[in-house]
């Protein structure tokens, strides 16, 4: 099988075959779950093969021309795109396994697994699309899937918050589409390679960049377009893990990097404004996380803050900052998914998300407590957990690129991360002992428990592979447009 067909299958398998999930669900829950897992594992294995090819310098792309529309469907793989795809699918696999136990007592299970697979496949479409029209097409597919997943429980308040998410992200996507059309008008094509070669500049291009960034910020929940993400915490915990860690909020930072690190160079004035926005987003969301009383909302605002770190690395534009941001996508995805999935275990056992009703849970769920602590240490950037190295590289790279003020603000935000994360762990697992009648004993054999343990383990063990990961990210950084590394 050729590499281009493999690349097509990475997108096509979860998108197309996810429609069979409801059919298999009518036959057997076990068959449905097994089929869903296979639809996730096959793309991951194909990505490993494709990664080896692109690392060896073999070009991997799939092209289909629509002669009537004069639009090319192009899937293009490089080290950066395959790395992000593998990180997303890896976390999604863990979330899927967790879901087998979490979702078994709820209605609409077949629809749930169908939408999750469609969601992940749409992410793969965004990551590998090398044409603005198809980036937008898959972007909107993720919006529809996330709308359905956030409103999974169908209650009025849940649906209202899902609608809020859809409206905010769809409005941003409309701005982005207008920006795409303006870029295509200037370059004469929607293809990223053609746009990159055109070296676009001027006021019209700057306006297009601003519109595109509005769309990106709406999807990645960046201030002031951030409020939908915390509200999305009413969704099932595996959904929030998928939205906040693996897929949805990472779409924006990836598209930013793909367009504005590899394709178009924003003006210095735009970069200064972006530094200001992400700095405010990081600080304000961290401050809110420190006072929130809902465990999932604390983690959600933490996500908003940490996403700003990734943006910082990509906006700074230098090699070290880019490498840190690229690795941050993986490290944050693993650790933050672990925190959300741990919150789901806690909610399942004590039936509340309110911190004031928690305390002393370490006694009842020590395994989850240790896994939560490992993931929290990685998010905080405490060595030897892998999150330390990516966060350090982002801040070091920002200083290296002489963006000193932004670096200082984010150092403060890193300290704030430590404060609200320690507060969260204390209030949940330590603190004053609460009474929990009929709490179930924690079970090692639980897929939910094993999932959070595996994420904490990966957050630690990747430290020993950080030299190789740095090498891979450095190879990706060497292809940044306009940089001479």
Give the model confidence (pLDDT) of 263-286 as tens digits.
888 888 999 999 999 999 999 999
Omega cis (within 30) before 224: yes
Let me know if residue 467 belongs to a domain: yes
Instruction: Please state, rounded to an integer, the average pLDDT across all residues of the chain.
Output: 88
What is the SS3 assignment for 292? coil
pLDDT at residue 64, as a whole number: 87
Cα dihedral: 255, 261, 264, 270 (round 10): 90
Let me know if residue 327 belongs to a domain: yes
pLDDT at residue 70, as a whole number: 72
User: How many distinct structural domains can be found in the chain?
Assistant: 1
pLDDT tops 90 at residue 422: yes
Nearest in space to 99 (alpha carbons), one of 123, 122, 115, 80: 115
pLDDT tops 90 at residue 127: yes
State the residue range of the domain holding 113: 3-477
Let me know if residue 485 belongs to a domain: no
Let me know if residue 179 belongs to a domain: yes
Let me know if residue 483 belongs to a domain: no
pLDDT at residue 481, as a whole number: 57
Residue range 71-86, pLDDT digits in tens: 889 999 999 999 999 9
Let me know if residue 249 belongs to a domain: yes
Query: Given pLDDT bands bounded at 50, 70 and 90, which one contains residue 485?
Result: very low
Let me know if residue 332 belongs to a domain: yes
Q: What are phi and psi of 484, to 5 degrees?
A: -115, 70
Buried b (16+ CB within 10 A) or exposed e, 111-126: ebbbbbbbbbbbbbbb
Burial class of residue 195 in the structure, from the number of CB atoms within 10 Å of its CB (0-12 exposed, 13-18 middle, 19+ buried): buried
Within 10 A of 456 (CB to CB), how many other CB atoms are there? 27
pLDDT at residue 246, as a whole number: 57
Let me know if residue 484 belongs to a domain: no
């Amino acid at each position: 099988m050729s590499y281009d067909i493999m690349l097509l299958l990475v997108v096509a398998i979860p998108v197309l075959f996810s429609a069979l999930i409801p059919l298999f669900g009518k036959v057997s829950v076990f068959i449905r779950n097994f089929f869903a897992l296979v639809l996730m594992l096959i793309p991951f294995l194909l990505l490993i093969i494709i990664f080896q090819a692109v690392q060896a310098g073999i070009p991997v792309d799939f092209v289909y021309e629509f002669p009537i529309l004069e639009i090319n469907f192009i899937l293009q793989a490089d080290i950066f795109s395959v790395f992000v795809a593998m990180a997303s699918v890896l976390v999604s696999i863990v979330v899927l396994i967790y879901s087998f136990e979490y979702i078994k007592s709820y209605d609409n299970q077949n629809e749930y697994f169908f939408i999750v697979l469609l969601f992940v496949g749409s992410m793969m479409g965004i990551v590998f699309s090398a044409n603005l029209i198809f980036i937008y097409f898959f972007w909107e597919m993720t919006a529809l899937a996330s709308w359905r997943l956030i409103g999974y429980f169908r209650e009025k308040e849940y649906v209202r918050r899902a609608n809020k998410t859809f409206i905010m992200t769809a409005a941003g996507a409309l701005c982005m589409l207008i920006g795409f059309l303006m870029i295509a008008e200037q370059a004469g094509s929607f293809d990223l390679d053609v746009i990159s070669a055109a070296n676009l500049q001027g006021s019209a291009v700057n306006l297009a960049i601003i519109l595109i960034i509005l769309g990106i910020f709406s999807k990645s929940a960046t201030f002031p377009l951030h409020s939908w993400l915390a509200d999305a915490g009413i969704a099932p915990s595996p959904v929030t893990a998928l939205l906040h860690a693996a897929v949805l909020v990472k779409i924006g930072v990836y598209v930013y990097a793909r367009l504005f690190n590899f394709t178009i160079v924003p003006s210095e004035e735009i970069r200064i404004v972006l530094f200001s926005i992400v700095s405010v987003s990081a600080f304000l969301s961290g401050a809110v996380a420190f006072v929130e009383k809902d465990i999932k909302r604390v983690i959600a605002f933490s996500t908003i803050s940490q996403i700003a770190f990734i943006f910082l690395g990509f906006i700074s534009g230098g090699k070290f900052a880019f490498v840190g941001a690229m690795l941050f996508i993986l490290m944050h995805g693993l650790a933050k998914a672990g925190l959300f999935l741990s919150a789901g275990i806690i909610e399942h056992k004590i039936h509340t998300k309110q911190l004031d009703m928690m305390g002393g849970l370490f006694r009842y769920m020590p395994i989850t407590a240790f896994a939560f602590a490992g993931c929290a240490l990685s998010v905080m950037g405490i060595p030897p957990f892998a999150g330390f190295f990516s966060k350090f590289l982002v801040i070091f790279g920002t200083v290296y690129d002489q963006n000193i003020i932004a670096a200082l603000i984010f150092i403060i935000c890193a300290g704030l991360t430590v404060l609200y994360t320690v507060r969260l762990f204390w209030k949940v697992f330590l603190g004053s002992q609460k009474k929990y009648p009929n709490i179930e004993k924690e079970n090692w054999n639980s897929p939910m428990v094993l999932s959070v343990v595996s994420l904490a383990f990966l957050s630690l063990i990747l430290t020993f592979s950080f030299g190789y990961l740095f090498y891979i990210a450095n190879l990706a950084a060497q292809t940044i447009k306009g940089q001479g590394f």
